[in-house]
């Protein structure tokens, strides 16, 4: 798929059919994720692919922001040890950015593969870490719901007046 099509036609999908996402597809998604930019090549990320219905359910009950019926999840986590070792106190914030850029690669690649996605931040991070049986340095940052789209929503309205030239003006640039 053309990049532009992926960027502009990707929607946040919350209603899915019960068709599976294969392990090979999940590997392709994560592979797209790891080629996101990462400050100092730190790669402070870990990707948990979850396909078991019970495991998905357990995570979903901890995630008020996760509405819908995903058939797979990718939990994108920071490796806080790695982030701190390589970048000190600021490493945790760098890891947030890196995880988000990796997530965007994953969602674009999902759309490319005919897979719907929706990224969620509203969940109990410590509880999700426990469900993933992960140690304390693994911090769940974002969860990407995945599945075959059952319903594609219309594009949401986007503000176009968010572009400024050289410096701030009260009016913005209202393209």
Pick 19 or 34: Cβ nearer a copy of itself: 34
Pairing of strands 149-151, 15-16: antiparallel
Pick 7 or 152: Cβ nearer a copy of itself: 7
Among 21, 25, 47, 70, binds a copy of itself (CB under 8 A): 47
Residues numbered 12-31 forming contacts with a copy of itself, rule: CB under 8 A? 12, 23, 27, 30
Name the strand (E) or helix (H) holding 137.
none
* 157 near a copy of itself, judged by CB under 8 A: yes
- In whole angstroms, the minimum distance from the beta carbon of 19 to a copy of itself comes to 19
What are the residues whose beta carbons fall under 8 Å from the beta carbon of 120, sequence distance 6 or more? 63, 65, 66, 142, 143, 144, 145
Among 21, 62, 83, 132, binds a copy of itself (CB under 8 A): 132
Pick 63 or 141: Cβ nearer a copy of itself: 141
Pick 49 or 150: Cβ nearer a copy of itself: 49
- In whole angstroms, the minimum distance from the beta carbon of 33 to a copy of itself comes to 9
Bridge partners (DSSP) of residue 116 are 147
Among 41, 53, 89, 136, binds a copy of itself (CB under 8 A): 41
* 139 near a copy of itself, judged by CB under 8 A: no
* 162 near a copy of itself, judged by CB under 8 A: yes
The CA distance from 28 to 94, in Å, is 24
Residues numbered 51-110 forming contacts with a copy of itself, rule: CB under 8 A? 51-52, 55, 65, 90, 93-94, 96-98, 100-101, 103-105, 107-109
DSSP state of 114: T
* 114 near a copy of itself, judged by CB under 8 A: no
The CA distance from 99 to 110, in Å, is 16
> CA-CA distances (angstroms) from residue 119 to 49, 67, 68, 171?
14, 11, 12, 31
Q: Which long-range contacts (CB under 8 A, 24 or more apart) does 88-94 make?
A: 91/42, 91/44, 92/139, 94/39, 94/40, 94/42, 94/44
């Amino acid at each position: 798929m053309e990049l532009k099509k992926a960027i502009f036609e990707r929607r946040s999908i919350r209603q899915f059919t019960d068709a599976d996402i294969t392990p090979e597809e999940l590997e392709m998604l994560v592979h797209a994720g790891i080629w996101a930019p990462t400050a100092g090549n730190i790669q402070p990320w870990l990707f948990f692919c979850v396909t078991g219905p019970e495991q998905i359910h357990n995570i979903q009950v901890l995630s008020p922001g996760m509405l819908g019926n995903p058939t797979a999840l990718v939990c994108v986590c920071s490796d806080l040890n790695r982030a701190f070792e390589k970048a000190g106190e600021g490493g945790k914030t760098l890891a947030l950015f890196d995880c988000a850029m990796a997530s965007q690669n994953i969602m674009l690649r999902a759309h490319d593969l005919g897979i719907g996605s929706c990224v969620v931040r509203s969940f109990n991070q410590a509880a999700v870490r426990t469900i993933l049986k992960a140690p304390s340095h693994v911090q769940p940052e974002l969860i990407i719901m995945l599945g075959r789209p059952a319903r594609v929503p219309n594009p949401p309205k986007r503000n176009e007046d968010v572009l400024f030239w050289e410096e701030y003006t009260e009016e913005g640039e209202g393209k």
